[in-house]
Structure 1
Amino acid sequence: MSSGAVLMRIADDGRIVEWSARAGELLGRSRQEAVGRTVAELTGGGDGTAGGKALLAALGAVSVRPVLSGASLTWEVRDGQGNGATARDLAILRTLFLHSPIDLYILDADLRIGRSGSGAPEALPGTDGALAGQNFPEALGLVNPESEHAVARRVLMTGEPALRRVVRAAPRNGTGRSMHYSLSYVRLEGADGAVLGLVASAVDVTEQERALHRVRLLEDVRTTVGERLEVTSVCQELVDAVVPAFTGIAVVEVIEDVIRGEEPPLAPVDQDMPLRRTAFKGLVSAHTVGEVRRLPEGTPFSLVLNDLRPRLITVTRDSPWLSADPARASAIAQSDAHSLIVAPLTVRGQALGVVSFYRHREEAPFDKDDIALASDLCAHAALCIDNARRFTRERTIAATVKRRLLPQRSSAPSTLDVASLHIPGPGGGGAWFDVIEMAGGRTALVFGDVGGRGIATATTMGQLRTVIHALAGLDLEPNELMARLSDTAMQLASERAALPAGDPLNREPLTAGCLIAVYDSVDHTCTLVRAGLSEPYLVRPGGDAEAVSAPGGPILAGTDHAPFPATEFPLPAGSILAVGNEDLLESEPRLRAVLRQETALPLDEVSDMLAYALRDRHETEKLLLLARAKGLPADHVLTVPLAEDLAAVPDVRAAVRGQLAEWDIGADDAFTTELIASELVANAIRYGAPPYRLRLILDERLTCEVRDAGDSAPHLKHARTIDEGGRGLFIVASVADGWGIRYHAQGKTVWARQGIGSAE
């Protein structure tokens, strides 16, 4: 290469195609005057030869050399000055073109290759002998040459370099794999600032890009696969992540026992073990997703389950294993699949299933590096599937425990209609309800919700429910019942906090809410106490509805030891009381509208309509309890004020005998009731305080109550033969089905309940 600045370029026909400012100074002609004219026209000579000599004489010391520009030959005229830099510049350029670790190309303004490598026309990397003069993006075989033209022209126009752009080229040399180049463009300018073209560099980064793609794919799988704790969801997440980033077709088949949460089998897997196709993405599926089938013997899929070793297989029409699975063979043929990797889903030497990766049509075949990547992808997916399996098993156990702990059948009395709506959440929950019949025509509606999910939540729910039943048998007032339940919850919470730090339950604080509503079918009232849960919703017979305004106490097992205030309100026959978890009745106007509009329907039908309204709210557990008051008819209750001495006993017997006759109670049952009433009245007069009152209540059973204003607690006494008294409660306990004491703000009620043989 000659040193010195380029003065001009002259085409083979004598026309000047480039004119520098330096040439204009020497010859007194501007670029507009010179470019496009011949040398003879410019110098005024008679022919081209004479004009050329005249031009050289005017310029003085110059160098002239031929230069191939694209497919054309031009003559380059350079200033002969600056020869001191010639040797150094030549050495630098020669070394750069011969020994540079990257491939360099000199491009003209049309992106045609002038020189490459050492300056001689050479083959481009990855091409089959591309020669000088070819268009650079097309010679490289770029997938999008138009985009590359735009980038190069922008560099020519602005002078701003475009560096290290990774672009994709079509497969070459029969590898079937796309190539990647890192391309850079720098504008080539003369000493006078004239744009001469571009210097381009191309580096083959195919292997680096493939390695980076594998890392990105694996990271994407680790990020997106396993977000949901369901086996089928994990499998679908896997195929979504690998198609088309890694493969054109992906199939996941999981052992059926694993999906149900059972322990995975050890390899080799029994040939009769059924697998379910849990996920598919591609063109044609041999079997529908969800189908359960056994893998045919003598196929790559069954072999992988034997030794848990991945396999790379070239698929042809003559592959011998295709005949063992005609449906899969047909799908492979329709998809033009030609390369297959079958990899196991395995943890701790246990088999969970297999994943099949197919490449088809123009996709490049798999290679050994792809086997390692497929194994890594499946290893992560297997861990996620195993986690989902464990969660499924725990959820199944928790659901079974909860189902056994909840009421197995309705125990509502005749004075109350009850219906419930239960929508289990994905992970279960701790919501529950109970309907507990109490003495005196009363019924306790209990609604609770334990925070969390899983076995621990279900067992805690069972413990609290058992305590409620035990305390309800003591005939406590609702506020005292809630206070004692809270004490039990606090004890359970302290036991949980005392667990070893490594126990996961230690890090889950116990939280629970509860609502207790005691309905009195005789007085048509309801006494409500709540701890943490939202207010219930009351719909009256006429359709008027509102939330029951009742102050709430602290949550169960909380640090607040405030009391639980009780609220009493009328509950006439036909009223509907609705209680729900998660503030459903406050946050869902649709539910309140259904309750107001459908008061005449049976509660089971109302429950179904509420379920329809909640059809898009299944993300967590939902529980609603509905209770419609029916009340007890007035003629099923006898109330008798009592005298303050034992003379009241004969009167009581007579009143009881007359009422039992009206109720058509049999003689045997009537005798028992008379005996119970006389003993209870005698005890109250002897040991209680006036005023006294007797009440008979007839529903499914017959209840006898005696109320007085005394605070002394009667107790059962096994009297000896010589004792004069003490046998009253012993006699009552012997003939009645049950007896108990209920305390009030002033006084107490002693009651006894008996079954009856016939009642109107």
Structure 2
Amino acid sequence: MSMDETGRGGPPEGSGEPTPAAAGDRRTSGVPSDEVRCWILEQLPVPVAYFGRDQLLAMANGAAAGSVGKPEASILGLRPGEVEPGLFLEGGEGLAEAIARVLRTGEGEPYETHLVVAGSEHIWQAAMSPVRNAAGEVQGVSVVTLDTTEQFWARRRLAVLNKASMCIGSTLDVGRTAEELAELGIDGFADFVTVDLLAEVLAGDEARSVLHRDRISFHRVAQRSVLEGCPESVVPLGDIHDYNRDSVVGRALITGEPSRHTVDEEALLRWAAERPDRGRRMRLKKVHSVLVVPLRARGITLGIAVFARHRTPAGFGSADLQLATELVSRAAVCVDNARRYTRERATALALQRSLLPRRAARQQAVEVTTRYLPNTNGAGIGGDWFDVIPLSGARVALVVGDVVGHGLHASATMGRLRTAVRTLADVDLAPEELLTQLDALVLTLDREEPADSADGATVAGATCLYAVYDPAGGCCTMARAGHPEPMLVRPDGTVEQLELPSGPPLGVGGLTFEAAEFELPEGSRLALYTDGLIETAGRDVDTALADLRDLLGRPARSLEEACDNVMDALVPEQPNDDVALLLARTRRLDAGHYASWDLAADPAVVSYARKRAAAQLTAWGLDDAVFTTELVVSELVTNAIRYGGEPIRLRLIRDTALICEVFDGSSTAPHLRRARIFDEGGRGLLLVASLTERWGTRYTGTGKTIWAEQPLPGAHEAELL
């Protein structure tokens, strides 16, 4: 090793390592000259500009000049955002303020601007930095920019797709889903959007292939614009909106493929000139780029969506077409789901309405008004029902029920239960006994529908309130199975919730039902309802019941008005559950409509009973019915004396029909017999059945009543009139 003059070892000769002097020469030898520096700046592909303290452009490289489409010499001395003296780029208004801020504060800052250059929009990300002299004083601002247009639109498309997953298909409504697509389309993507659907899709029917149709019927379901009032809707887009097979839309419908198109601007301007009124509404919008995307789901075309740009300078690109296709594809699946729901809901609603009473039954015991409103939250039609059933003896049964669940299964189950209630009511079962039989039926239905059935539906239960009102004495007997208690509005306007024994819902089994009796003054109003009336989101049940009491207590000119007041106040515009409401105003039979006599258990009273009945019919002006009624009274009273026991009572009622009732203290069930030729008896009930429209037996705790009804003379002719 060699030693230098200081005694330290230096590099060996021939080692090739530079000496310090040689290294310094190497560092300085590569320093570019001013000319090279100019080449570097000029050839840099990134736009670079320099503004002096006077905020005028002092230097710009070729990329900066090329970004505005001007030679460098022509833009020197211009203010920020100017391309010519006094002519500013669209979107460059904030550049001057940003540069002035950097000059004032001496701190750099990022800046994003949307510039429209030569009819094309660009997004520039700029880095503004102060330029200082040797003394550290700010002499100007350098602006280095990057064109981030592609990245900007990529982020925008990603944001639109993310928003689509949350916004499109929020409801099971075909029209609303189309509107959501149109609303999302104008949110930073298009300037004008239309959505047209096939007519059968709107109706909830299966969409048919468009390949072999002579005529395709579409309906405009949604259109949205960035301009208020959608003035673009009056602008013809050539053959874009033409539905013939050779048009753009026709080809898209047949092929199922989306496409991009440009619109002839001169043709639009000529059209506007020919129609000055519509031209003003256009506000000289120039639709220049259009996307046509068919709505297809499960291999079937459901409609067409059109996206147009007229304010956004950039036309649609291939990435935009891909984005629109993705948006429309998502919307199409939601539209198809909504269509299927619409069809099922319409079917369930039609089934349910066909099972509900279409008109009030003929009876005079109560005046009745009803309301039924299906839910609209997408869960499907429920199983709420009501009924008014005329009973023997001028009585009437009022029924309100609710099947657990929604959809076709709930509606069908409701129909079965309503039929069962009517059948059980015809045999005059007491309310608690009727609910017991109905509970057994629900259990049977539940066993017939196992949990793993094909549609996954089971009869989970139902609630029911059954009330029987007798206008002769004003007595109302009620029983409930898990149903809300009714409200009673007395003639003086006081309202109370009737306390009924709590019964389990139908389908629980093993528990009993109890009835309660109430005497209702004439003119009282009875309100029966399902839980959808009082159980709504954002309001507890106690508050709803208090509101219901207040509404029922308000004066109303009619039951219709009272019903409307309750529904308008308590039911939201889009209820979450079915709502059924039945209002009944009670009436009483006065002395002019019924008469009764207590009879002894002596065959001699039969003739007396016939005479009293005949006299009463004459007093009512029903002479034509005397002969038949005498025969009926004679047979029923004879049977009561022979086979029944005291007490015996005869009652005639003049209501919608002429009713003859005979009560006795025996629970022996009468039955119809066919007497042989030489038999001396056994023809009584057969004779009664032949002379009257219907007859039957009802039981009480102390005996039974045999009744028979015959039409009032002239009643049939009155109905025909």
TM bucket normalised to smaller: 0.7 to 0.9
Aligned-pair distance for 1:475?
0.7
1:286 maps onto 2:233 in alignment: yes
Residue pairs, 1:81-480, within 5 angstroms:
123=63, 127=67, 144-145=94-95, 167-172=112-117, 174=118, 176-181=120-125, 204-268=147-211, 270=213, 272-282=215-225, 283-286=230-233, 295=243, 298-317=246-265, 334-426=284-376, 428-480=381-433
Q: Is the 8 A contact 1:112 1:133 kept in 2?
A: no
Q: Is the 8 A contact 1:580 1:624 kept in 2?
A: yes
CA contact (8 A) 2:103 2:141 kept: no
State yes or no: 1:542 paired with 2:542: no
1: distance between equivalents of 2:222 and 2:30? 63
**How big is each residue's C-alpha offset from its partner over 1:57-113, in whole Å with a ceiling of 9 and x where there is no partner?**
xxxxxxxxxxxxxxxxxxxxxxxx99989978999999xx999x9979899998999
- State how far apart, in whole Å, the 2-side matches of 1:85 and 1:646 are: 148
> Is 2:526 aligned against 1:526?
no
Task: Give secondary structure in 2 for the equivalent of 1:286.
Answer: helix
Deviation at 1:270, TM superposition (A): 3.7
Equivalent residue, structure 2, for 1:562? 511
Query: What number of residue pairs does the alignment pair up?
Result: 658
Query: What's 2:462 paired with?
Result: 512
Residue of structure 2 equivalent to 1:24: none
CA distance in 2, matches of 1:89, 1:541: 112
In 2, distance between residues paired with 1:567 and 1:154?
A: 89
* C-alpha separation in 2, matches of 1:329 and 1:341: 24
Asked whether the equivalents of residues 260 and 290 of structure 2 are also in contact (C-alpha less than 8 Å), the reply is: yes
CA distance 1:93–1:497, shift in 2 (3 Å): farther
State the 1:459 CA deviation.
Answer: 1.6
Once the two structures are superposed, residues 673-716 of structure 1 have per-residue CA deviations (whole angstroms, 9 ceiling, x without a partner) of: 22222322232333333322222222121222222232322222
The equivalent residue for 1:58 is none
1:709 aligns with 2:665: yes
- Assess if the C-alpha contact under 8 Å between 2:381 and 2:408 holds in 1: no
1:628 to 563, 570, 585: 585
Q: How far 1:245 sits from its partner (Å)?
A: 1.4
Aligned residue for 2:3?
none
Residue from 424, 434, 455 that aligns with 1:503: 455
Report the more deviating stretch, 452-461 or 217-226.
Answer: 452-461
For 1:567, the aligned partner's letter is: A
Aligned with 2:623 (options 657, 666, 669): 666
Equivalent position SS for 1:345 = strand
Distance 1:551 1:83 in 2: 111
The aligned amino acid for 2:171 is: R
Structure 1 residues 547 and 520: CA distance shift in structure 2, 3 A: same
Q: What residue in structure 2 maps to residue 652 of structure 1?
A: 609
Does residue 692 of structure 2 align to residue 736 of structure 1?
yes
Q: Residues 187, 360 of structure 1: CA spacing in aligned structure 2 closer, same or farther, 3 A cutoff? A: closer
Over the residues paired in the alignment, what is the CA RMSD in angstroms?
Answer: 4.5
What is the TM-score when the length of structure 2 is the normalising length?
A: 0.78
Amino acid at match of 2:344: E
User: Shift in Å at residue 446 of structure 1?
Assistant: 0.9
Task: Choose 1 or 2 for highest CA Rg.
Answer: 1
Larger mean CA deviation between 538-547 and 129-138 belongs to 129-138
1:603 Cα deviation (Å)? 2.6
1:229 partner SS: coil
3-state SS of 2:472 partner? coil
Query: What SS is found at the alignment partner of 1:695?
Result: strand
1:233 Cα offset (Å): 0.8
Shift of 1:520: 0.2
Cα displacement (A) at 1:396: 1.7
**What SS is found at the alignment partner of 1:465?**
helix
Report if aligned partners of 1:185, 1:201 keep a CA contact under 8 Å in 2.
yes
- SS of alignment partner, residue 121 of structure 2: coil
How far apart are residue 541 of structure 1 and its match?
1.9
Shift of 1:658: 2.6
Preserved contact between residue 115 and residue 121 of structure 1 (Cα < 8 Å): no
Given that 1:680 and 1:750 are in contact with CA atoms closer than 8 Å, whether structure 2 keeps it comes out as: yes
Residue aligned with 1:734, SS: helix
Q: Secondary structure at the match of 1:335?
A: coil
Q: Distance in 2 between matches of 1:85 and 1:495?
A: 100
Kept in 1, the 8 Å contact 2:57–2:80? The answer is no
What letter matches 2:166 in structure 1?
T
What CA distance in whole angstroms lies between the structure 2 residues aligned with 1:413 and 1:355?
56
1:297-321 per-position Cα deviation (integer Å, ceiling 9, x unaligned): 7542333223322221111145699
Q: Could you tell me which runs of 5 or more consecutive residues in structure 1 were left unpaired when the two chains were aligned.
A: 1-80
Name the aligned partner's letter for residue 159 of structure 2: R
Secondary structure at 1:635 match in 2:
coil
Of the three residues 547, 565, 578, the one matched with 2:527 is: 578
Range with greater deviation from structure 2 (463-472 or 148-157): 148-157
**Does the 8 Å contact 2:103/2:140 carry over to 1?**
no
- Cα gap change, 1:597 to 1:114, in 2 (>3 Å): closer
C-alpha deviation, 1:473, in angstroms: 0.9
Kindly state the Cα deviation for residue 639 of structure 1 after the two structures are TM-superposed.
Answer: 1.9
Aligned match of 1:490: 443
Q: In structure 1, what is the Cα distance between the partners aligned to 2:628 and 2:27?
A: 129
Summarize deviations over 1:453-494 as a string: whole Å, max 9, x none.
432232222111111111111110011112222222233334
Check the 8 A contact 1:102/1:201 in 2, yes or no: no
Q: Kindly tell me: are residues 125 and 522 of structure 1, through their superposed partners in 2, closer, same or farther at Cα, counting changes over 3 Å?
A: farther
Given that residues 57 and 78 in structure 2 are in contact (C-alpha distance below 8 angstroms), is that contact kept between their aligned partners in structure 1? no
TM-score after normalising by structure 1: 0.74
Question: Is the alpha carbon distance of 1:176 and 1:285 closer, same or farther for their aligned partners in structure 2, counting shifts above 3 Å?
Answer: closer
Amino acid at match of 2:358: Q
1:495 to partner: Cα distance: 3.4
Alpha-carbon offset, residue 279 of structure 1? 1.2
The 1:125/1:724 distance shift into structure 2, 3 A limit, reads farther
